[in-house]
Amino acid sequence: MTGPAKPQPKRLPRDKRVASILEAARTVLRDRGSEQFTTAEVAERCGTSEGTIYKYFPTRRDLLVMVAEQWFDEFLGQTYPDRADSPISERLYHAIWWALSIVRREPALTRFVLMELRADPGYRTLRIYRQNRQTVERVMKVVREGQSSGDFRADLDLNLVRDMIFGAIEHQTWAYLRGEGDFSVDASASGIADVVMRGIEVPGAAGDPVARTVKRLEAVVGRLEAKLDD
């Protein structure tokens, strides 16, 4: 009655079965959102029974979390070019572009992570929290390196910079996540990178010696300040 749902072989080794459930679950999460995500639909879609799902996933929530983690793994697993030679502005742009592209590619999953999981007390104990930090790191690494190279100011509150960048990313994509319209990854990334650059780069970076010295002093003081915060 509800379509034949490819007649999966009855008995599967643990790995295959888990994989097939996760795949179906991801589809359901994409199509329905986490609110409307039911174990029944997952079972139907992967041609197994709810009982089997509960064999491998103790809880609906665990399944949902696993889907998100696996999805995140795929993104983090993609090779990410270091671009150590590119100018710092280029690298910042690219790191932001990459974060935005995740949102763009998987809105439903992003929404689930940002809105359901992140709001959950205990979020910090999840693997996805650490995965998310990795994403953040890719961007912040560039910022820190910009500081070392003297391109960016040394006295930045890095947490604040982080919050501004990722806050902007989320704000720019809310409408999209809500299903209202689209956004351009390129345009958003270059807009954010641009404002951030101006906000954090060293002003007169030109060439007079006094300015140079001041800049060096600034870097040293910045590092001192950071040490004091520990």
Partner DNA sequence: GATGAATGAGTGTTCATTCAT
Partner DNA sequence: TATGAATGAACACTCATTCAT
Pick what 49 binds: a second copy, DNA, none; C-beta below 5 to 8 Å, kind-dependent. DNA
Strand partners, 201: 152
- Choose one: 46-54, 90-98, 144-152, 158-166; the region binding a second copy (CB under 8 A): 158-166
From the CB of 17, what's the least distance to DNA, in Å?
4
- One of 22, 28, 29, 39 touching DNA (CB under 7 A): 39
- Choose one: 14-22, 58-66, 70-78, 211-219; the region binding a second copy (CB under 8 A): 211-219
User: Based on the number of CB atoms within 10 Å of its own CB, is 54 exposed (0-12), middle (13-18) or buried (19 or more)?
Assistant: middle
Query: 28 or 165: whose CB is closer to a second copy?
Result: 165
In angstroms, rounded to a whole number, what is the distance separating the alpha carbons of residues 33 and 138? 28
Distances, alpha carbon 141 to alpha carbons 40, 79, 82, 137, 222, in Å: 43, 16, 11, 6, 17
In angstroms, rounded to a whole number, what is the distance separating the alpha carbons of residues 198 and 212? 19
Number of residues forming the site for DNA (CB under 7 A): 23
- One of 5, 59, 74, 115 touching a second copy (CB under 8 A): 115
Q: Does 60 bind DNA (CB under 7 A)?
A: yes
In angstroms, rounded to a whole number, what is the distance separating the alpha carbons of residues 24 and 19? 9
Q: Does 134 bind a second copy (CB under 8 A)?
A: no
Radius of gyration of the chain (CA): 22
Q: Does 214 bind a second copy (CB under 8 A)?
A: yes
Strand partners, 152: 201
In angstroms, rounded to a whole number, what is the distance separating the alpha carbons of residues 117 and 190? 29
Name the site residues for DNA (rule: CB under 7 A): 10-14, 17, 36-40, 47-52, 54-55, 58-61
Name the site residues for a second copy (rule: CB under 8 A): 111, 115, 118-121, 123-124, 155-157, 159-164, 166-172, 174, 177-180, 184, 187, 191-192, 195-196, 198-200, 203-204, 208-218, 220-225, 227-229
